[in-house]
Structure 1
Amino acid sequence: MHYPQRQQGMTLLGWIIVLGLIAFFVLLTLRLLPNYLENFKVAETLASLKNEPDITRKSPAEIRKLIDRRFIINDVTRIEARDVTITNDKGRVTVRAQYEIRVPVLGNVDAVTKFDESVELIRN
């Protein structure tokens, strides 16, 4: 076996490729992270409805008003209360927020994140 006398590191082209990949993933994270943070707020808002007294006796309009107030407090801007689906079936209310967010990444390339949060409220 023949071993080279000196070791060589990564070439300039190799460094450019590695740094480009790192920059791309940092950019992607910076673009997508706010979407996920806001989705946590949406899920938290829906889960907080379980603590609301007599929530199953309220009309869908009243529930939407509660959700809208909480979205304003939590600074949720990518979905509105009117986009939330509320179904009432014999004392069982299902509140569902199903939405997607499209974020431009580079030029005409977009990243799409889809979210589907729901909570089931049961009359006590």
Structure 2
Amino acid sequence: MKQMTSNSIKQQSGLTLISWLVVIVFLLFQGVIAMNIIPVYITDSSVKKIMETLPDDIKARETTTKGLKVLVAKRLSINSIYTIKPDHITVKKGHGENIVVIEYEPRGKLFGNLEYIVSFKHEARVKTR
């Protein structure tokens, strides 16, 4: 009886071929998602840095709302961020400050008819003189 138990344990160790294929397909799927989504978040990190530097910028404080929108668009262009169009940038005049909002949704294909949409919204308040 003991011999049979030890033999059956030796035979049952490890994954079957089908189990390995399922694991490999799952890991490949996760890799494809990561390769498509990670660049979107890297781009958003650059947008966030641009928005964080606006309140401390002297040029941003001294310009008009239209000039502020142009300034943000130029900085995006300098950082090679072409997915954000001028329509995604909004500048509102507040009490003693300008409010800059960038709201955009990058979209892309994963594979086949499977796509992704990621929404981002960043806001910066720039004191005016």
**What is the TM-score normalised by the length of structure 2?**
0.86
Q: Secondary structure at the match of 1:70?
A: helix
Would you identify which runs of 4 or more consecutive aligned residues in structure 1 move more than 6 Å?
Answer: none
**Contact 1:67 1:81 (C-alpha < 8 Å) held by counterparts:** no
Choose between structure 1 and 2: higher helix proportion.
Answer: 2
Q: One-letter code of the match for 1:53?
A: I
Query: Would you say 1:117 and 2:117 are equivalent positions?
Result: no
Aligned 1:17-28 pairs, distance under 5 A: 17-28=22-33
Of 88, 92, 107, which residue of structure 2 is paired with 1:87?
A: 92
**Contact 2:65 2:98 (C-alpha < 8 Å) held by counterparts:** no
Once the 2 structures are TM-superposed, how far is the Cα of residue 71 of structure 1 from its aligned partner?
A: 0.8
Distance 1:88 1:57 in 2: 13
Structure 1 residues 111 and 4: alpha-carbon distance in aligned structure 2, compared to 1, 3 A threshold: farther
Query: What stretches of structure 2 of length at least 5 have no aligned partner?
Result: none
Larger radius of gyration: 2
Partner of 1:33: 38
Query: What stretches of structure 1 of length at least 5 have no aligned partner?
Result: none
Distance 1:119 1:81 in 2: 16
Aligned residues: 124
Q: One-letter code of the match for 1:114?
A: S
Q: Secondary structure at the match of 1:95?
A: strand
Query: Would you say 1:76 and 2:81 are equivalent positions?
Result: yes
Choose between structure 1 and 2: higher strand proportion.
Answer: 1
Once the 2 structures are TM-superposed, how far is the Cα of residue 54 of structure 1 from its aligned partner?
A: 5.6
| Residue range with higher mean Cα deviation, 11-20 or 112-121 | 112-121
**Contact 1:87 1:95 (C-alpha < 8 Å) held by counterparts:** yes
Q: Secondary structure at the match of 1:9?
A: coil
